[in-house]
Amino acid sequence: MAKVGIVMGSDSDMPVMAKAAAVLEELGISYEMRVISAHREPDVFFEYANTAREKGLQVIIAGAGMAAHLPGMCAAIFPLPVIGVPMHTTSLGGRDSLYSIVQMPSGIPVATVAINGGANAGLLAARILAVSDPELLGRLEDYSRRLKDQVLEKDARLQEQGWKAYLENGKK
């Protein structure tokens, strides 16, 4: 049974939301992914949000651009955590999406990550779930150690090669 719902208003959001899915997969967290428009198919959206908890979802990650109503509408119906992912837009660079998701009215909280922050949305969902799952917490700690090791390796390479060679050889 899926623990996290990943929902987006358009398949154009897929590259960003796929990063959340990749993180969840890496951490061994089950999820489902849907394309559902709160504006174009409100009946399908309401069915999704109203039945998400019954289906076992514990967190929803909702990505949206421009007016970005999907995360807030999920939070209005789904009683558990909702994480909003504002999408970069061509008209306002994603600030419209960010402001729409961040400025929720009192009583309807939506945790919000950076514009196009799909990976961090996946990590935040994992951290929420890890509160009651010691094994998942251990996998998150391992993930953090791997990130630290990557930075240490990059710094060691920089110290060994110098910045010019480092740039010439790529940031591998």
Does the pLDDT of residue 172 top 70, yes or no?
Answer: no
Q: Which residue is it, tokens 């992914």?
A: 33
Residue 81 pLDDT grade (very low, low, confident, very high; cuts 50, 70, 90):
very high
Q: Are 5 and 60 in contact (CB under 8 A)?
A: yes
Segment 45-73 shows an average pLDDT of 95
What's the whole-number average pLDDT of the chain?
95
For domain 4-132, say whether CATH 3.40.50.1970 is its number.
Answer: yes
pLDDT in tens, 105-162: 999 999 999 999 999 999 999 999 999 999 999 999 999 999 999 999 999 999 999 9
For helices 118-130 and 134-161, angle between their N-to-C axes, nearest 10 degrees: 140
Instruction: Provide the residue count of the chain.
Output: 172
State the pLDDT at residue 8: 97
H helices within the chain, ranges in order? 14-26, 42-51, 69-77, 95-102, 118-130, 134-161, 163-168
2: which residues sit within 8 A by CB, 6+ positions away? 30, 31, 32, 55, 56, 57
pLDDT at 46: 96
Per-domain boundaries in the chain: 4-132, 135-172
